[in-house]
């Protein structure tokens, strides 16, 4: 019997800036090429929490039988299509390319023949395959095709939304038959609907002064995109230096902003000895100090598809531990910080994944407060300071990035918060609460607003 997915939509993301490819007659040059973006999204599918597909290549086919490669990653880029919906469609940047002016009637994706489905709410993961009829020339690969009707004319269109129409995908035994359609792109221009993702490549054209910088990321899989940093960006380096340099190999975890046509970086990992290992970025939970383990719910993976809604991470005596802003930590300090941060933390783990046990043995772990990765901001006057609980209330004067409550804003100060006095100097958590105890103050906050609490990772006293 066939089992049907509820509708899942995939938009395959931005292709803007790379090699000029000749199709038919004509030369390479700015007059003969144009920008094109391709995005990915997902309609809500309550039956699955994970639909993990590995992409190797994407090609546009022209009406004159020409072909343009717009994405190419021999190692494969694994995407959880199901993650791209939280009740509304969310998007990731899949590629960003510059393509020859032409008319295109087909978009083909070279993917791994195997895909992983994670059922909800059981969390049971199963290995499935695409039909033999979709087998590609490369063994173990399949070809998924979107017929463009009407045809895509470039110039004239600068983006395309591919719908991996899971409402019409079917499962028979372990064989999944896909359907691809073209999506209308509703919501694509809303920055809040874009999902964080990781992009790898070379940093070039760096401008500005830290922490507010920008650079062009020439991506490994083709094309390029502008990346911006600010005081919420965490820059991590095995060597200790956190200075961006031209031609440096970097891994950028961030969110594409369609209004600025750039990626706002949350974590930048400089050239790493661990860059070829399995990797997961996600939300941390259930740290067990005695067992040296914790759980992570993956937002992004590299090198594998997780066999469950969460992954168990094992650390060892050889694991490299890092905390806020990449500071080196001991094992004891690391697990103490996990207990302190609780569920409001994001971990970046590299190591070796075992699909049989759904565990990752970590060679490198970096953990940040979730507030550090947020972009919510608020300004207002303080009241009810509680130094024991590290909380206070705020009467909001200005807010950005979240829907402010009707009453006072309840604020929790992150244990590792960066706190500045009114002269710009760094002050301790205890000094901050001593100041608040002296009377009402105006403060500016940066952090994350969740469950009616604003967790502050940056605080500045304005008076």
pLDDT recorded at residue 12: 39
Residue 25: is its pLDDT beyond 90?
no
Model confidence at 28, in pLDDT bands (50, 70, 90)? very low
* 141 vs 48, residue with greater confidence: 141
- Chain mean pLDDT for the chain: 85
**Predicted confidence (pLDDT) at residue 20 exceeds the cutoff of 60:** no
Whole-number Å distance between alpha carbons of 52 and 127: 10
> According to the model, what pLDDT value does residue 338 have?
82
Min mean pLDDT across 134-148, 169-183, 345-359 is at: 169-183
Which element (helix H / strand E) includes 111? strand 102-112
Smallest Cα–Cα separation from 112: which of 359, 392, 363, 303? 303
pLDDT, residue 370, reads 58
The string of pLDDT tens digits covering residues 61-75 is 999 888 999 999 999
Q: What is the pLDDT of residue 374?
A: 60
pLDDT band at 425, cuts 50/70/90?
confident
Residues 457, 418: Cα–Cα separation, whole Å: 6
Please tell me which residue, 384 or 42, carries the higher pLDDT value: 384
> Which pLDDT tens digit goes with each residue over 372-400?
556 688 999 999 999 999 999 999 999 88
pLDDT of res. 99? 92
At 180-235, the pLDDT tens digits run 888 888 899 999 889 899 999 999 999 999 889 999 999 998 899 999 998 778 88
Name which of 272, 271, 254 is nearest 263 in CA terms: 254
CA distances from 66 to 2, 17, 104, 192 (A): 37, 19, 9, 37
As given in the structure block, the two tokens for residue 444 are: 């500016």
- CA-wise closest residue to 224 among 131, 93, 336: 93
Q: What is the pLDDT of residue 89?
A: 81
- What CATH number belongs to 278-371? 2.40.50.140
Higher pLDDT, 340 or 247: 247
Q: How confident is the model at residue 163 (pLDDT cuts 50, 70, 90)?
A: confident
Dist. CA 221–CA 210, nearest whole Å: 27
Which of 111-120, 340-349, 373-382 has the largest mean confidence? 111-120
The pLDDT value given to residue 183: 83
Give residue 1's pLDDT.
Answer: 34
For residue 3, pLDDT over 60 is answered with no
- Local structure of 151: helix, strand or coil: strand
Q: What is the pLDDT of residues 273-296, one digit of tens each?
A: 667 899 999 988 889 988 999 999
Q: Give residue limits of the domains in the chain.
A: 3-193, 197-270, 278-371, 374-461
Residues 15, 68: Cα–Cα separation, whole Å = 11
Q: Out of 3.90.1170.50, 3.40.50.300, 2.40.50.140, 1.20.59.20, select the CATH number for domain 197-270.
A: 2.40.50.140
DSSP string, 361-372: EEEEEEEEEGGG
User: What length does the chain have?
Assistant: 463
The answer to whether domain 197-270 and domain 278-371 are alike in fold is yes
Give me the pLDDT at residue 372, please.
56
Domain 374-461: give its CATH code: 2.40.50.320
**Nearest CA among 200, 263, 216 for reference residue 14:** 263
Q: What share of the chain is helix, strand, coil (3-state, %, to 5)?
A: 10, 55, 35
Q: What is the pLDDT of residue 166?
A: 75
Hey, what are 223's tokens? 């094309």
Sorted by sequence, the CB contacts under 8 Å of residue 18 that are 6+ apart come out as 96, 97, 98, 222, 223, 224
């Amino acid at each position: 019997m066939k089992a049907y997915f509820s509708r899942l939509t995939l938009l395959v993301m931005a292709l803007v800036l790379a090699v000029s490819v000749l199709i038919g007659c004509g030369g390479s040059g700015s007059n003969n090429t144009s920008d094109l973006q391709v995005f990915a999204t997902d309609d809500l599918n309550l039956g699955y929490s994970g639909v993990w597909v590995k992409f190797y290549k994407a090609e546009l086919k022209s009406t004159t039988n020409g072909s343009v490669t717009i994405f190419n990653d021999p190692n494969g880029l694994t995407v959880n299509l199901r993650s791209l919906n939280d009740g509304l469609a969310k998007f990731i940047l899949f590629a960003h390319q510059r393509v020859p002016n032409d008319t295109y009637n087909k978009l083909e994706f070279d993917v791994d023949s195997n895909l992983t489905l994670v059922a909800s709410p059981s969390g049971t993961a199963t290995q499935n395959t695409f039909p033999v009829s979709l087998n590609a020339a490369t063994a173990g690969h399949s070809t998924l095709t979107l017929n463009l009707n009407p045809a895509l004319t470039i110039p004239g269109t600068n983006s395309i939304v591919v719908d991996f129409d899971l409402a019409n995908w079917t499962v028979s035994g372990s064989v999944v038959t896909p359907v691809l359609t073209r999506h209308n792109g509703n919501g694509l221009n809303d920055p809040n609907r874009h999902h964080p993702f990781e992009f790898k490549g070379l940093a070039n054209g760096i401008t500005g002064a830290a922490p507010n910088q920008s650079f062009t990321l020439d991506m490994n899989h083709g094309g390029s995109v502008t990346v911006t940093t600010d005081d919420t960006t965490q820059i991590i380096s095995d060597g200790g230096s956190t200075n961006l340099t031209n031609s440096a190999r970097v891994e950028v975890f961030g969110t594409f902003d369609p209004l600025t046509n750039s990626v706002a970086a949350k974590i930048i990992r400089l050239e790493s000895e661990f860059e070829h290992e399995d990797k997961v970025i996600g939300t941390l939970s259930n740290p067990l100090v005695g067992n040296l383990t914790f759980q992570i719910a993956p937002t992004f993976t590299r090198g594998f598809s997780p066999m469950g809604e969460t992954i168990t991470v094992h650390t060892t005596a050889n694991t490299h531990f890092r905390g806020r802003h990449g500071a080196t930590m001991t094992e004891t300090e690391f697990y103490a910080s996990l207990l302190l941060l609780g569920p409001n933390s994001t971990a970046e783990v590299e190591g070796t994944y075992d699909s049989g046990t759904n565990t990752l043995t970590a060679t490198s772990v970096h953990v940040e407060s979730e507030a550090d990765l947020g972009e919510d901001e608020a300004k207002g006057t303080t009241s009810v300071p509680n130094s024991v609980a590290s909380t206070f209330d705020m009467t909001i004067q200005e807010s950005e990035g979240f829907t402010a409550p009707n009453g006072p804003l309840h604020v929790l100060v992150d244990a590792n918060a960066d706190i500045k006095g009114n002269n710009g100097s760094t002050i301790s958590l205890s000094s901050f609460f001593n100041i608040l105890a002296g009377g009402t103050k105006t403060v500016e906050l940066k952090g994350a607003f969740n469950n009616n609490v604003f967790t502050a990772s940056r605080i500045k006293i304005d008076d």
